[in-house]
Structure 1
Amino acid sequence: GQVFPSTLGNIVLGAEFEDGSVVIGESAIPGARKRVRRLFLWPEHPAAYPEAVAAILTANLIVIGPGSLYTSVLPNLLVEGISRAVRQARAVKVLVCNVATEAGETDRFSVADHVAAIEAQVGCNLFTYVLANDNFQVALPDGVLVRPAAGLSNKYRLVEADVIDAGDPWRHDPGKLARALLALYYEVGRREPSRRPYPSV
């Protein structure tokens, strides 16, 4: 596979919190331990990397996440050319929700909270499917495991599967996640033949 940056610009990430305070720098955001009202890039409106845009537009399957919501997933989507390409692409588009919350970023977030945060920062219509963990029989502190998707808007199609790493329940199991994503992709392909060709495995 290939890895492309979302932009070649020298970009700094910043956040405005619900109390009106502002921090600059990726590491400062979770350190503030406050609810984010708005993320921003500086300089504003960086140009998207053309090869990244081309890869998105020709993809069969687009997977958003998992990863740190405010400091990994969302910053790439704040590059307007990237989010625009995701919206324009004909691919099957899936948000993979984190299995565990992150201190200072997503404390006590549910699946619906993750989706709402993305909508608040970059708008709607980025993805159709939300893949969430449904294995809650793991030992994690109260409030850390991302809870079920109660309250998720019916404009999204929820797919639930056991995707948690039994030995490290803070994280996804790569094999389980890959199988869940491919199962979803093939199911969509059966219902919507225009989604083909299938990706190689």
Structure 2
Amino acid sequence: MPITPLQQAIRKLSPKQGKWSMVGQRTPKRVNRWFKWLSPGLFIKRWLLISATGLFLSLLGLAIWAKLTPIYFLLDLISQLLEIITTYVPNYISGPVAVLLGLFLLLWGQSRTVGSITDAFPDSDQQLVDRLLNHRRLHRGPKIVAIGGGTGLSTLLRGLKQYSANITAIVTVADDGGSSGRLREEIGVLPPGDIRNCMAALADEEKLLTELFQYRFQAGEGLTGHSLGNLFLTAMTAITGRDFEKAIAASSKVLAVRGKVLPATLSDVRLWARLDDGRFVEGESHITEAGGKIRQIGCFPENPPGLPAALQAIHEADYIVMGPGSLYTSIIPNLLVPEIREALAKVKVPRIYVCNIMTQPGETDGYSVSDHIKAINGVCGKRIFDAVLVQRTSPSPVVIKHYAKEKSHPVFLDKEDVTNLGCRIVLANIMDEDEMTAKVSHNPQRLARVLFRWYSKN
């Protein structure tokens, strides 16, 4: 955490050797904690000052109301007490003793006050002042809109939430497989799977909540295969009068989600794709399984209306990020909403696309970085993104060999073609390799750090 100017001044004035230096070394943690309360932006000092002023004026008003009798009596008592003290105790002793006693009582009282407040957060490993500083820092962060779906978007959000609390995740609702697909068919709710993952990623207690929401029932008639998070959102939808947007908002409050999660549309969207061999495939889960090259993609109903809150978030955004994720089943479905793609084209803020590390069989076989951008531009009818973030180094030979068995390969960076498309290239090492599974993924922390570094330069 940055050192406050007051801390810097104290450090310069403190002796660097001898007894006092040893004392300073023994108490830096407590001293630093107290200095944090003087940090700008906490909105603590002004209210303490106002409270003290209010107390003084109230006491003064009471004294005036009583014709100043209490003040005269108090001044007389203090005068007599000081006279007695100075008669028997030298001022060079009584003065420092009074100062030290006053400071001790002040610090003790404030410490116990802060401790009592901290007890309200028994599960937190952070000091109260650190929580307040972190809260203020995050809520002063830029307004970020992250667009996508699947595990890619939740990975991105997990990193972004460390830099800003003003995050809006716009999520596709085209999923029709697994638990989400069953709930969609049987109950008629919008697929909650991707929404669930994003809410878990933005929650304060992310690890525990993710495990809880991802828990899938292994037994029980009708429950087998369903995740707890999907059932939770489905139940909340029913409680809120089948209003999916309100259900997400209510769930976010219950789960202390940092930011907002919004569906791109409230329409019951179903994807379709036309393949190079002429086949027409309907349903998000069937497109990848078809195993052909996608020539055209669309949805039923055609031109679904965008969610007003999502459109407003885009118009008010300071920064827009799309990806990573499955190009045709997680990224592009959001752009099939005309109002979404039009809003993205109009805003004059930094917009960046996070490209996948590996190609995806059945969707992006043989695709280069420029092919990903062309697919997005083809749906939108114009260039949407100013830059593209690409992994700098290739995965290890072991990982490449493992993916090759699944007909997946590293996405090739064709720099000249990308530049000709009007996109700047941001190269960075944002990849994690899992030695056990020989799989790669984006590292949430490194990904967010690179994105914010690029944003700060634009």
C-alpha deviation, 1:82, in angstroms: 0.4
Structure 2 counterpart of 1:172: 442
Preserved CA contact (<8 Å) 2:357 2:391: yes
Structure-1 separation of matches of 2:279 and 2:311: 33
2:314 to 44, 49, 56: 56
Structure 1 counterpart of 2:333: 75
Counterpart residue identity of residue 357, structure 2: V
Structure-1 separation of matches of 2:411 and 2:441: 11
Preserved CA contact (<8 Å) 2:390 2:427: yes
Confirm or deny that 1:186 pairs with 2:456: yes
Structure 2 counterpart of 1:158: 425
Bigger shift: 166-175 or 97-106?
166-175
Aligned-residue identity in percent: 38
Cα deviation, 1:107-153, whole Å, max 9, x if unaligned, reads 12111111111122222221111111112142223552112233224
Instruction: State TM-score, norm by structure 1.
Output: 0.88
Give the secondary structure class of the aligned counterpart of 2:262: coil
C-alpha deviation, 1:101, in angstroms: 1.1
Give the secondary structure class of the aligned counterpart of 1:171: strand
1:55-134 matches, within 5 Å, as: 55-134=313-392
Paired residues in the alignment total: 188
1:140 to 389, 393, 400: 400
C-alpha deviation, 1:19, in angstroms: 1.8
Structure 1 counterpart of 2:223: none
Give the secondary structure class of the aligned counterpart of 1:118: helix
Structure-1 separation of matches of 2:440 and 2:365: 13
Confirm or deny that 1:25 pairs with 2:272: no
Preserved CA contact (<8 Å) 1:100 1:171: no
Structure-1 separation of matches of 2:442 and 2:277: 33
Cα deviation, 1:24-56, whole Å, max 9, x if unaligned, reads 000111111111111111011110000000001
Instruction: State TM-score, norm by structure 2.
Output: 0.40
Preserved CA contact (<8 Å) 1:13 1:75: yes
Give the secondary structure class of the aligned counterpart of 2:457: helix
When residues 31 and 182 of structure 1 are mapped into structure 2, their CA distance, relative to the original with a 3 A threshold, is same
Structure-2 separation of matches of 1:91 and 1:53: 15
Structure 1 counterpart of 2:117: none
When residues 137 and 10 of structure 1 are mapped into structure 2, their CA distance, relative to the original with a 3 A threshold, is closer
Structure-2 separation of matches of 1:98 and 1:10: 27
Task: Identify which of structures 1 and 2 has the higher relative contact order when contacts are C-alpha pairs closer than 8 Å and 6+ apart.
Answer: 1
- Structure with the larger helix share: 2
Preserved CA contact (<8 Å) 2:395 2:433: no
Confirm or deny that 1:6 pairs with 2:271: no
Bigger shift: 132-141 or 67-76?
132-141
Structure-2 separation of matches of 1:159 and 1:23: 35
C-alpha deviation, 1:64, in angstroms: 1.0
Structure 1: gaps of 5 or more residues: 189-201
Counterpart residue identity of residue 157, structure 1: R
Structure-1 separation of matches of 2:260 and 2:395: 36
Bigger shift: 53-62 or 139-148?
139-148
Structure-2 separation of matches of 1:83 and 1:152: 20
Structure-2 separation of matches of 1:153 and 1:28: 34
Counterpart residue identity of residue 95, structure 1: Y
Q: Which runs of 4+ in 1 moved over 3 A?
A: none
- CA-atom RMSD in angstroms: 1.4
Structure-1 separation of matches of 2:395 and 2:418: 22
Bigger shift: 6-15 or 166-175?
166-175
When residues 104 and 72 of structure 1 are mapped into structure 2, their CA distance, relative to the original with a 3 A threshold, is same
Structure 1 counterpart of 2:414: 149
Structure-2 separation of matches of 1:30 and 1:137: 24
Structure 1 counterpart of 2:116: none
Give the secondary structure class of the aligned counterpart of 2:304: coil
Counterpart residue identity of residue 114, structure 1: H
Structure-2 separation of matches of 1:125 and 1:173: 27
